[in-house]
Amino acid sequence: MAISFVENAVARRGLMLVISSPSGAGKSTIARLLLEDRDMDLSLSVSVTTRQRRASEIEGIHYHFKSVREFERLRDSDALIEWAEVHSNYYGTLRETAENALADGRDMLFDIDWQGAEQLQAKMPADVVSIFILPPTMKELQMRLNRRAEDTAEVIETRLNNARFEIQKWSKYDYIVINEDLNQSYAAVKSIVMAERLRRDRRPGLFEFVNGLLEEQPS
Ligand code: GDP
Ligand code: ADP
Ligand code: 5GP
């Protein structure tokens, strides 16, 4: 939801909403709800990856799917603002997309792992708002990965093994959401975004607005 129209005169920087979780906790589901919600006005940073495309995924919408050679070329030419190896594949965020959005004052969603979150946090500490999604139980995490039925049994096993390690990164994030009930989790994430947009330090237009208020003569 946009901040009050009275502040539009002064440009604001976009915020970087980073969402991470162990695989299967519901991060992509929550991200999809955010992107479909017109009130939220968020766009996705489409990552580059060397992972195989899942049946449900569309090139350019969910990821830019690349060969290892192509990925390495992007990485070595500094086209990636962050990159990491996750579950034996490479993933990275395109620098140009992220920087253009921020400069234009558009808020962006980054569905990236803890290594990427750490890199963005170090590079742009004032712009990053980070949320970690936890599953209610490990059993439920396993059930969700199986139910999603997008990965092979071997891939699911790797992801479950990595989950224990990833979960231990929880304390580096600004906000923690335990995704038991999806509606409640989504409401929590939405309220985080709305509150962060209201922060005084993200609203340069407030100076002009308050000056205008003080200049008004009571009739
Ligand atoms: P998911 O865990 O089911 O969402 O599976 P994905 O294959 O979509 O993502 C695998 C991991 O890579 C997740 O931890 C993502 O957050 C992470 N990831 C995706 N894109 C990026 C990226 O651009 N940079 C980094 N560092 N990690 C990414
Ligand atoms: P991630 O992106 O974190 O790997 P997904 O968003 O793909 O996880 O979710 C994994 C599976 O769990 C999907 O099939 C999704 O529909 C389901 N799921 C997500 N959140 C919930 C929830 N709160 N309760 C039950 N199932 C959920
Ligand atoms: P998946 O293969 O299930 O789509 O993603 C696996 C993991 O990679 C998820 O935790 C996802 O957030 C992460 N990921 C996806 N894109 C990026 C990215 O650009 N950078 C980083 N660091 N992680 C990413």
Query: How much is the ipTM here?
Result: 0.82
Protein residue whose Cα sits closest to atom 3 of ligand 1 = 23
The per-residue pLDDT for range 159-189, each reduced to its tens digit, is 999 999 999 999 999 999 999 999 999 999 9
Q: How far is the CA of 26 from the centre of ligand 2 (A)?
A: 4
Q: Which atom of ligand 3 is nearest to the CA of 51?
A: 2
**CA–CA distance, 59 with 64 (Å, rounded to integer):** 6
SS3 letters for 29-95?
Answer: HHHHHHHHCCCCCCEECCEEECCCCCCCCCECCCEEECCHHHHHHHHHCCCEEEEEEECCEEEEEEH
Q: Which atom of ligand 3 is nearest to the CA of 111?
A: 12
Ligand 2: residues whose CB is within 6 Å? 21, 23-29, 144, 147-148, 179, 181-182, 185
Predicted model pTM: 0.91
Q: Which atom of ligand 1 is nearest to the CA of 150?
A: 3
Q: Decide if 91 contacts 113 (C-beta within 8 A).
A: yes
